[in-house]
Chain A
Amino acid sequence: MSLAPGSVKVMQPTPASSQIDEWRERSNKWACELWHSGRMKVALMVTCVNDAMFPETGKAVVRLLRRLGVDVDFPAAQTCCAQPMVNTGYLDEAVPAVRTFVDTFEPYDAVVTPSGSCAGSVRHQHAIVARRTGDAALAERVARTSPRTYELTEFLVDVLGVEDVGAYFPHRVTYHPTCHSLRLLGVGDRPQRLLRAVRGLRLVDLPAAEECCGFGGTFAMKNAETSVAMGADKARHVRESAAEVLVAGDNSCLMHIGGVLSRQRAGVRVMHLAEILARTEEDA
């Protein structure tokens, strides 16, 4: 094979997953050591959707992290990760949210969020927005804050090093791996490992689990028919699993699938993973 030396860099291709794994391992090691030194400042990025629509998820994350010994803070200046604007093409409109994010979370060592999609947006899109502004200082700050942002299951498994969080949830549950946690972040089977350690919980397979549910942010509105067609198939697979509860790490996807299931009177409820992990025997 005739590859000129350094030719791989010519167009800066997206790094290979093996390379991303390597970076993440290094960054996790740093965070893990900091956590064990007892000096880690941890912030909750609750996300705008959870803040306005699903406050119980935010409360569950707070309860869960405290139980695991994390003194989590909620900096009130936070707003949104900017994904709705970026993914619809409105980059200028995304700038204030990115600036707010950086201002808010810069003082923290780790930012934990109960959303794979929002974590993905911070890690993959903030740099694009910063580049757009031409503000080199902002780009530099983004380069510092972005890698410190963790999706909840990454933080639990990679930084805190726990899989059994002491939860109790005696129900038949199936798990939908949301696309951004699966493919953008690569959380792998961390959520399933956490779920399997929940006492009383029976985890059943979801057919075609890795297929997108059809939410897709503004796609759900701009291409509503296609979105619903995909959602209907996802709902069918959820029913085929015969689970009582559908769990996922993103409330926006759950809002869509749950909306279809509810309209069908399917008798399946949707829950954010954090709310299951936060439940203990005392809550039962």
Chain B
Amino acid sequence: MTATFVGMPAFPEAARAALADTQLRQNLTHATGTIRAKRASVVGEVAEWEELRLAGAAIKDNTLHHLDEHLLTLEAALVERGAVVHWARDADEACRIVAEVAKSHSIDEVVKVKSMATQEIGLNEVLAEHGIAAWETDLAELIVQLGDDLPSHILVPAIHRNRAEIREIFRDRMGEVGRPAPDDLSDEPAELAGAARLHLRQKFLDAKMAVSGANFAVAETGTLVVVESEGNGRMCLTLPEVLVSVVGIEKLVPTWADLDVFLQLLPRSSTGERMNPYTSTWAGVTPGDGPQEVHVVLLDNGRTRALADEVGRQALRCIRCSACLNVCPVYERTGGHAYGSVYPGPIGAILNPLLKGTGVDEQTDSLPYASTLCGACFEACPVRIDIPEVLVHLRSKVVDAHRDQRPKSEALAMRAAGWAFGDARRLDLAEKVSGVAGRVAGRLSRRSLPGGRSAVSRLPWPGSRWSDARDLPAPPPESFRAWWRRTRGGNEEER
């Protein structure tokens, strides 16, 4: 994969390009609409859904509160069952560990289970630098990889592609890296999946090593859990000799019983299914069955930073279901690439700044502002992450990080507003000025809004950002407070 999120522009600029891509808009509207309807239907049939959400949030909160203890329990259980446990502070350390395991067996190609953690650390690129080819085996990840593309959704990374585009990618690229697509390949989903199946079968049979993430890690038994739809994960987790799993430290649940809650919440929220087709669980090495060398890389990479943020830490409850992406009106129009990260959409808008820190780069700082705070994400979130609350909190962190620098026009405007709103007399004065401006605008304007009120259609910058596409009512000659004063609360009104 040659594409990279590194150096992506800030959200507003990236979004502008995405909004102009008509094929992308069409694909996204169709795909998010379909998956929204599926989710709504299967969530609607669970009477105690709200209780499940509360339980999911509580289990995660409780686990995060005692994360240090649970991690040690997990490590002990894994070691006891024959796994090798590695601790990685950041992406570099994690990638190096995986590469070293591969090199120790002289392995130059690995198969991969779909995993957000390995995307986050850029594992495939680092492995490539070491001469190791990493093959994505999830259908959508395969489409993204073959297309030299970037994922744009957590669950369906190729959501921005339609089947005609996928056919092109398969025909053009499959042959370069393995079994080619059949010459007569059509864009029928079953045929596309069939081509991928044959292409991947060869990879599964050849690979000596697999790399996975994990949806959950059960501390008491050292069990890792992968939840999937296609069965490619089951192949990767059982066929190769060596298995390395990169697991974010927030993936822990204390016991098997806790899994019960999440295995109900996750499939209904993500794919809109009552239950996912494949749930694989494994704990260390089982002699004579499956991988005989099992490594687990426990990844921090900013998670302890997020955990230290009292408001933001709730983001670590996230089970990567994507429900927030599918209901987000911003995501539906811009797609995932505009967020410049493997974590797009509302969760990405909070997770990226929490993991990377605020005030560090402009792109990350732009993400908390990539939302109207409409609250659809919080409503859909199966673990009740109050995303709008965290967004507003992170906006304040972005502003605070720049307080000692020369203020931007926005900061000056906010200071002025803060001052004016400190005393009604100042606001009254400002409204008198705007009333005069409104009278002038009303005289000059040739446009009126439906209903008759004078309209302003062209404003100088920065007002042009509004008036480029929207009319604005001309300010009224008299403010409400001036009317109240003049008419003594409407009691002396003319009529």
Which A residues form the contact surface with B (CB < 8 A)? 1-4, 7-8, 10-11, 13-14, 16-18, 46, 48, 50-56, 58-59, 62-63, 73-74, 76-80, 82, 84-97, 99-100, 124-125, 128, 179-180, 182-184, 210-212, 214-231, 255-256, 258-263, 266-271
B414 touches A97 (CB 8 A): no
Query: Interface 1/0s, chain B 333-359, versus A by CB < 8 A?
Result: 110000000000000000000000000
* In the complex, chain A residues whose CB is within 8 Å of the CB of B399: 88-91
Q: Does any Cβ of A come within 8 Å of B475's Cβ?
A: yes
User: Smallest distance from the beta carbon of A209 to chain B beta carbons, Å?
Assistant: 13
Contacting B450 at CB < 8 Å: which of A63, A73, A268?
A268
Known A52-B479, A76-B485, A79-B421; contact A224-B465, beta-carbon cutoff 8 A:
yes
Provide the residues of chain B in CB contact with A94, threshold 8 Å.
418
Min CB gap A68→B, angstroms: 15
Query: In whole Å, how far is A47's beta carbon from the nearest beta carbon of chain B?
Result: 9
CB pair A228–B469 under 8 Å, yes or no, is yes
Per-residue contact bits, chain B 414-434, to A (CB 8 Å; 1 contact, 0 not): 110111111110010011001
12 A-B contacts (beta carbon < 8 Å): A51-B481, A52-B431, A77-B424, A79-B427, A80-B417, A89-B392, A91-B396, A179-B372, A211-B376, A224-B466, A259-B472, A260-B470
On whether the beta carbons of A262 and B455 are closer than 8 Å, the reply is: yes
Query: Given A10-B62, A48-B427, A179-B375, are A3 and B329 also a contact pair (CB < 8 Å)?
Result: no
Tell me, in angstroms, the Cα distance from A18 to B51 when the chains sit together. 10
A259 in contact with B466 (CB, 8 Å): yes
> When chains A and B are docked, how far (Å) is the Cα of A50 from the Cα of B369?
25
Looking at the assembled complex, report how far the CB atom of B419 sits from the nearest CB atom of chain A, in whole angstroms. Answer: 7
Cα distance A7–B56 when bound, in Å?
Answer: 12
Q: Smallest distance from the beta carbon of A17 to chain B beta carbons, Å? A: 7
By a beta-carbon cutoff of 8 Å, the part of chain B in contact with chain A is 11-12, 15-16, 19, 50, 53-55, 57-59, 61-62, 64-65, 254-255, 257-258, 260-261, 313-314, 329-330, 333-334, 368-376, 378-379, 384, 386, 388-389, 392-400, 410-411, 414-415, 417-424, 427, 430-431, 434, 447, 449-451, 455, 457, 462, 465-466, 468-473, 475-476, 478-481, 483-485, 489-490
In the bound complex, CA of A222 to CA of B400 (Å)? 18
Contact of B65 among A11, A16, A46, A222 (CB under 8 A): A11
CB contact under 8 A between A55 and B396, given known A62-B490, A223-B370, A262-B450: no
| Interface core residue of B12, B55, B258, B471 (most chain A CB under 10 Å) | B471
User: Which listed residue (A59, A218, A261) contacts B480, Cβ 8 A?
Assistant: A59
Residues on B with C-beta less than 8 A from A261 are 450
B490 touches A1 (CB 8 A): no
Residues in B whose Cβ lies below 8 Å from that of A223: 11-12, 15, 330, 369-370
A48 touches B470 (CB 8 A): no
Interface core residue of A48, A128, A217, A268 (most chain B CB under 10 Å): A48
Complex Cα–Cα for A271 and B420 (A): 28
Check A214–B329 contact: CB distance below 8 A: yes
Task: Return A108 CB to nearest CB of chain B, in Å.
Answer: 15
Min distance, Cβ B205 to any Cβ of chain A, angstroms: 41
Pair A13/B57 contact, Cβ less than 8 Å: yes
Q: State the 3 A-B residue pairs at the shortest beta-carbon distance, nearest first.
A: A216-B372, A96-B422, A259-B470
Given contacts A223-B11, A223-B369, contact A16 B419 (CB under 8 A): no
A267, B448: Cα distance in complex, Å: 11
